[in-house]
Amino acid sequence: MTDVPASNTIIWHRQNLRELPKFRDGTTYLYLEHTRLEQDGRGVRAYHPDGMVILPVASLSVLLLGPGCSVSHEAVKAMSDTGCSLLWVGEGGVRLYASGIGETRSAARLQRQARLWANPHSRLRVVRQMYTLRFPEGLPDNLTLQQIRGREGARVRDTYARYSKAHGVKWDTRQYRVQDWDRATPLNKAVSAGNACLYGLAHAAILATGYSPALGFVHTGKMLSFVYDVADLYKVEVVLPIAFREAATPGDDLERRVRTGLRDHMTGLKLLERMAADLHHLLGGDEPDADDLAPGDLWDPEGDVRGGVNHG
């Protein structure tokens, strides 16, 4: 079992979703390999050849399950009830294969996202806002989308060059070779491992706040397009400092050191809280969720009508 926080064994008890720690106040993530997860009473236990630990699932935002992991049906149900998102990933967290449900049970924010996505004018507005968040000095209003993409490319290239000089790590080009991972440079491995962790965190934030990971605004055509949109807001600030630092540090377990460093870095930046706030800012989803246990409304062209009642 890897990257287990040095804290603590927490036994949890679920009352209802509103009494649990809010998503953005939770811990960041936990990555596990070769571990068996089982429910035990009111806790979830993680069994590994090196020992057993009770997972703090009530305050855990996302659990990344790597190779060799197995999880019981009851453990999955228990983690879903607390709002802990499950992500099934490849070795070292470099791929994301599947995910579980997030914390929210309301579709209001997803519907708003779909309306913004489907309208070309509102979609362009969100795209411009997303790019603007990456530039502390802001962007001129008269730039075309092509010009904005050019500025973003220059910003990323200059940042790589700056970190390369500061850490003495050679950088030529960004390469992600999923079929030839062992031949990748240490820096490219570090960046890829860091990006995978950031994708997992962004995916969890999207699900937990009630949005769809597929309806991207900048990216399109993939089931994780919106995950890439959100992660790109923070990559330069969050991933690159840790990736360059660890690539410049001699030693083994590069990907593990990147994940551990990112966990601490994300916590210090309060990244989960920022993700939730930025998502609501971009898509306008600050209103409280509907009652999780109440039935949904019925669609009507003149306005939704109340569900769960007899209209005869």
- Give the whole-angstrom CA distance, residue 272 versus residue 73: 27
Task: Return the beta strands (E) in the chain as ranges.
Answer: 27-32, 36-40, 43-48, 51-54, 60-65, 70-71, 85-89, 96-99
CA-nearest of 226, 204, 209 to 217 is: 226
CA distance 200 to 202: 5
Q: How far from the centroid of its chain's Cα atoms is residue 123's Cα?
A: 21
Q: Was 232 annotated as part of a binding site?
A: yes
33 is in an annotated binding site: no
Query: Taking the CA atoms of the chain, what radius of gyration do you get in angstroms?
Result: 21
Instruction: State the distance between the two ends of the chain, measured CA to CA, in whole angstroms.
Output: 57
Q: Is 219 annotated as a binding residue?
A: yes
Q: Can you name the residues that pair with 39 across neighbouring β-strands?
A: 44
Other C-beta atoms closer than 10 Å to the C-beta of 111 total 12
Q: CA angle, corner 252, sides to 248 and 253, nearest 5?
A: 100
| Strand, helix or coil for residue 62 | strand
| Phi, psi values for residue 97, rounded to 5° | -105, -35
φ, ψ of residue 36 in degrees (nearest 5): -110, 125
Residues flagged as binding site: 152, 219, 232
The annotated binding site for Mn(2+) is made up of 152, 219, 232
